[in-house]
Chain A
Amino acid sequence: DVKVTQSSRYLVKRTGEKVFLECVQDMDHENMFWYRQDPGLGLRLIYFSYDVKMKEKGDIPEGYSVSREKKERFSLILESASTNQTSMYLCASSLPVEDNYGYTFGSGTRLTVV
């Protein structure tokens, strides 16, 4: 069974802390994505990656960075956490477009910045 695993379900961090959200997929997918979900705003794309060491900005990259050193792992980094980054963070992976039947999502990380 295919799987996208996010390392933490719940996190509480202080303002100004550097935060790492980890995502690992076991499907040998090339494409990986980070979204955040907020009430009334739906899913918004933060960053995505089509290959190792590649990264592309999504719609709301400000305050975030990413790292993809290995194909199976895609990390989201909050350089200096702020309260407006309190959100549900969702990682997803997918095959290239020829096999485009959608994303597989992880269970999400609910981050609270205090």
Chain B
Amino acid sequence: DQQVKQNSPSLSVQEGRISILNCDYTNSMFDYFLWYKKYPAEGPTFLISISSIKDKNEDGRFTVFLNKSAKHLSLHIVPSQPGDSAVYFCAASKNRDDKIIFGKGTRLHILP
């Protein structure tokens, strides 16, 4: 039973355009959400997070949007750059439980 779902295994975006990665979750107890980026042969690196008390968090080219009623979050990258080509994992955790549940990941290809 997947609690964090990334339904798009891959996504291709032209360089300079906006990349939108989507994530859905089923557990209403989740109140902290994260995005990680992973290059091949490396560990995932933390990208951006959002608490459930917010609906938007921005950090440079990266913005995460949270829609609690729809149990949906998205990561926007604008403008997309070649170095953004990687696998992106959506993740979530409960407030009093530090265990983080990951989605299956979306591979983002930035096209020249």
Q: Which residues of A contact B (CB under 8 A)?
A: 4, 9, 31, 33, 35, 40-45, 48, 50, 58, 90, 92, 94, 96-97, 100-108, 110
Known contacts A41-B104, A42-B105: A97-B43 contact under CB 8 Å: no
User: What would 13 more interface pairs be, CB under 8 Å, given A4-B43, A42-B89, A97-B96?
Assistant: A42-B104, A43-B105, A45-B99, A48-B99, A96-B98, A97-B95, A97-B97, A97-B98, A100-B98, A102-B34, A103-B100, A105-B43, A110-B41
B45 within 8 Å of A (CB atoms): yes
Per DSSP, chain B at the interface is: strand
Contacting pair A90 B44 (CB below 8 A): yes
Q: Which residues of A contact B99 (CB under 8 A)?
A: 33, 45, 48, 58
Q: Rank and list the top 7 A-B pairs by shortest CB-CB distance, nearest first.
A: A105-B43, A42-B104, A43-B102, A102-B46, A97-B98, A102-B34, A107-B43
Question: Roughly how many angstroms separate A90 CA and B34 CA in the complex, as a whole number?
Answer: 17
Q: Which residues of B contact A (CB under 8 A)?
A: 6, 9, 32, 34, 36, 41-46, 49, 89, 91, 93, 95-105
28 A-B residue pairs with Cβ-Cβ distance under 8 Å, sorted by A, are A35-B102, A41-B104, A42-B6, A42-B104, A42-B105, A43-B44, A43-B89, A43-B105, A44-B102, A58-B99, A90-B44, A94-B100, A96-B98, A97-B93, A97-B96, A97-B97, A97-B98, A100-B32, A100-B93, A100-B98, A102-B49, A103-B44, A103-B46, A103-B100, A104-B46, A105-B44, A105-B45, A106-B43
